[in-house]
Structures are given as structure tokens and as C-alpha cells.
Copies of this chain bind each other. A is one copy, B any other.
Amino acid sequence: MQSIQATIITIGDELLIGQVIDTNSAFIAQSLNAIGILVKSRTAVGDNKKDIIEAMDLAIAQNKVVILTGGLGPTADDITKPLLNDYFGGKMIVHEPTLAHITHIFENIHKRPMIERNRKQAEVPDVCEVLFNETGTAPGMAFIKNGTLIFSLPGVPHEMKWLMTNKVIDKIKQNFKPNFVAHRTLLTAGIGESFLADLIADFEASLPETIKLAYLPNYGMVRLRLTGSSSNEIALNTSLDKLFNSLKTFVTEYLVTDLDETLEVVVGKLLKEKNQTVSTAESCTGGFIGHLLSKHAGSSQFYTGGIISYDNRIKTEFLDVPTHILQTVGAVSKEAVEQMALAVRSKMNTDFAVSVSGIMGPSGQTDEKPLGMVWIGVANREKVVSKVLYLRFDRHKNIEVTANQAINLLRLLIINKI
């Protein structure tokens, strides 16, 4: 048993000028963590030989596993492959299975002639083990230096994910027997981070040194995570389960889920269990609630559909919001949002409905209705409940928080808490 540390190095100027948000690192970190590899740091460097080499030198000196992503595309801004070849002292050769695979993709899928640039993607340093990439044209590569495994993966997310899952993890497991790392995660709603901390202060003070507690606030909810690492998997899980059960007793009132899952997944599960359905009537979120409810596999079991009533005319014509309501109390009102929920539920004949109408910014406010004022509503076959929010984020964050608060209100209605 060893405590195995890893570093993730992402390569590409686009990360350093902020043109692209790095989602690869999170996936890689999760995959490594699941087999007990501790990610010690993550680094992003530009398409610059000196910086890449410096980052690799440091990473290899300090870690047993190094994952590089990016820099393997077909175009000339990519310098990683020749650099790796020099770094590990190899010479470039054609990897025949990869060449056959690329040829197949161009002939049978793209149905376009292959050009020299694509051919070159089949070239690899002869000192690497090729990780055959079924999902794209750039092969993954594995190197070893001073007992450290170095993996180079394409930056295209679905290709990187496929290679991590199907090649990299196995290879790491063949080489190392890492400590077991385990987490227990729960999600709370309706209590702020500091108040939660006070509520569980005694629990936190009683934690053994080997177990860490983290607070992860987001969207007006707070996730709590316990983490431990040990060579004894059974003892670790027993200890974590005991502590986690204790933690849950402190937060019962606010508990959304004791699994590491998102709010919309919790709601989807509740609906599927009861074989019930939901529809949506969205104004200011413009379809984002529908997207959250339908983004996970299996959502067609409970999500029926929705009306995006962005323009007030659609609220009247499709959701029967009377024009006198729009003209008096307005579209951002208890009356409008309750009518929207009632109408979409009835018209789509679902068990539940959720509705929102608000002022997302950066303009549209009035004296009575400030920026960030949002009404959210939920209905079932018996009743309709609504709530007003006053948000103070930017437009994008306001949309996200509104959607999450609305889905949480739906959850409370489903479990009969409102």
C-alpha cells in the first residue's frame, strides 16, 4: 500500500487567455480519486516548450502519476508530441493500428479524403505504449520515467474521458497499489454556510485527524463532504459510515440527499419512484429548468415537457395568464407565476408543475421590482405554492440560482414539506 500522488497538466494557450473553461481536470481528478490516487495539484501551461518541460520536470519529481491533456490535435499550434518524443528520447514511428483506424474514420464516417495532417496523427514516439483511441484520431500515450507513469491524452473531452476510463485507470492499477480513499457527501438546503458550521461545531470538533470535513456552498445550498484515506478499506468505510450517520443526525432538517448527486437528480428519483411526472412553465430561465430536468439519462420517465413563455404574449396565449394581471401586478408576480404553474400542469396533465418569472438583469427593473426579483411557483393536483427570491448575482448566475431554487421548491412539494 502506498499513498500515490498525481499531478494533472493541461496544455494550451486557450486556457491561459481564459477562452476555454477547463472541464477535463475535474473528470480526471474524479477518476483518479475513485481508485485512491490523491491529486496533489493541477497545472495549466501554454503551448510553450519551456513551460511544458518545466511543469513536467516538477511533476515527475513529485508524483507517481502525471496526466497531460491537450496539444495532440492535427494542427500546427500543437507541439506536445514532438516535445514528448525528445523529452523521453525516442524517435517517431507510425502506429499502424491507429493509421488504419484514422483511415477508416475518413473513408467510412467523414467520407472525405484523408490529408497528410491526419496521417501524422498516427505517428508516435517509439518509447511510448500507445493507448489506442477508439473515439477519435489522436492516440493516447503512456511513458515511464524514474518510476513515474506519464500519460498524454487528447484534450477533446469525450476522447480524454474514454481513454481515462478504458486505458489509463487499468494501467495505473497494474503499477501501483494505492491507499483507499473514500468520501461521504450530503447536500443541505435552507441553511447558510456559517449557520451550518455552528450547527455541526461539536461534530466537527470530535472528528479524528485522519478524516477531513469540507463545506462546498453553491446555489444557496451547501454540500458537506467527509474524506478519509487508509490502507485498510474496511476499517476506513466503517469509520466513515459511523461519522457520516452522526453528521446526518445534526442536519436532518436541511438534508436534501446523502449521496453525491445533484438536486435535479434527487427530484428525478423521487418522481420515478412514485411514477409521477412534471412539466415546466419558464419565463426568465428560458428553458434552463427543462434542460436540468432532462439532461440526465432516464428523464423521459418523469419530464413531460414545458412552455417557455419568454414573451408576455405567450404567457397569455399558452398559459392563460389574464392580461389584467400582466397590466396590474405584472408578469413578475405571485399571481402570474401561480397561474403559469396551474396552467402548464393542467394542459400537460402532469402530477407536478414548476414555474418562474423574474428580472434577471442587467436591466428591466422598476421601483417596485428590483433586479434579481424572481417569483417561483410549484403546483400539484391539489394546490399551488409560490415564493419570491431577491437575488444579487449577475444574469447567468441568477438564472442558475433561480432554476435550482425552483427545483428545490418542487422537491419540497413532492415530499409534502410545503
Q: How far is the CB of A158 from chain B (nearest CB, A)?
A: 5
List chain B residues, Cβ under 8 A from A46: 40-41
Residue of B44, B135, B295, B392 near A135 (CB, 8 A) is: B392
Does A19 have its Cβ within 8 Å of any Cβ on chain B? yes
User: What residues of B have a CB within 8 angstroms of the CB of A45 in the complex?
Assistant: 40-41
Is A22 close to B, CB under 8 A?
yes
User: Closest approach, in angstroms, between the C-beta of A374 and any C-beta of chain B?
Assistant: 14
Interface flag for A194 (CB, 8 Å): yes
Residues of the B chain whose Cβ atoms lie less than 8 Å from the Cβ of A185: 19
| 8 Å CB contact of A33 from B17, B23, B196, B288 | B17
B22 touches A22 (CB 8 A): yes
State how many residues of chain A have any CB contact under 8 Å with chain B.
Answer: 106
The answer to whether B305 touches A314 (Cβ under 8 A) is yes
Choose among B14, B40, B213, B218 the residue that contacts A16 (Cβ–Cβ < 8 A).
B40
Select which of B19, B21, B394 is within 8 A of A23 by beta carbon. B21
Q: Are B300 and A291 in contact (CB under 8 A)?
A: no
Chain B residues near A314: list those with CB within 8 A: 304-305, 348
Binary B-proximity of A377-403 (CB < 8 A = 1, otherwise 0): 000000000000000111111010000
A18 contact from B18, B26, B157, B310, Cβ within 8 A = B26
Known: A21-B26, A158-B397. A215 touches B75 (CB 8 A): yes
A42 in contact with B17 given A214-B47, A314-B305, A399-B295 (CB within 8 Å): no
Given the known interface contacts A304-B311, A311-B300, the answer about A117 and B194 at a Cβ–Cβ threshold of 8 Å is yes
Mask of A3-35 contacts with B, CB within 8 angstroms, 1/0: 000000000011111111111011111110100
Given A40-B51, A158-B393, A161-B394, the answer on whether A286 and B294 have CB atoms closer than 8 Å is yes
- Give chain A interface residues in 351-378, CB to chain B under 8 Å: 361-363
Contact of A290 among B20, B290, B295 (CB under 8 A): B290
Q: How far is the CA of A93 from the CA of B164 in the complex (A)?
A: 48
| Contact with A193, one of B44, B73, B196, B294 (Cβ below 8 angstroms) | B73
**Chain A stretch 257-299: residues in CB contact (< 8 A) with chain B:** 260, 280, 282, 285-291, 293-297, 299
Contact yes or no, B285 A115, CB < 8 A: no
Contact B214 A77 (CB under 8 A): yes
Is A39 located at the chain interface by the 8 A CB criterion?
yes
If the complex has contacts A17-B39, A44-B42, A285-B291, are A194 and B308 also in contact, measured as CB distance less than 8 A?
Answer: no
Given A18-B33, A214-B47, A193 and B158 contact (CB-CB distance below 8 Å): no
CB distance from A115 to the nearest CB of B (A): 6
The answer to whether A55 has its CB under 8 Å from any CB of chain B is: yes
Asked if A204 and B76 make an inter-chain contact with CB atoms under 8 angstroms apart, the answer reads: yes
Residues of B within 8 A of A282 (CB): 287, 290
Bound form: Cα–Cα A161–B395 in Å: 13
- Chain B residues whose C-beta falls within 8 Å of the C-beta of A306 in the assembled complex: 287, 307-308, 310
CA distance A55 to B156 in the complex (A): 28
Identify 4 new A-B residue pairs, CB closer than 8 A, beyond the known A288-B295, A305-B314. A18-B26, A20-B218, A110-B192, A304-B310
Q: Which residues of A contact B (CB under 8 A)?
A: 13-23, 25-31, 33, 38-47, 51, 55, 73-77, 110, 112, 115, 117-118, 135, 156-158, 161, 183, 185, 192-198, 204, 212-218, 223, 225, 227, 260, 280, 282, 285-291, 293-297, 299-300, 303-311, 313-314, 318, 348, 361-363, 392-397, 399
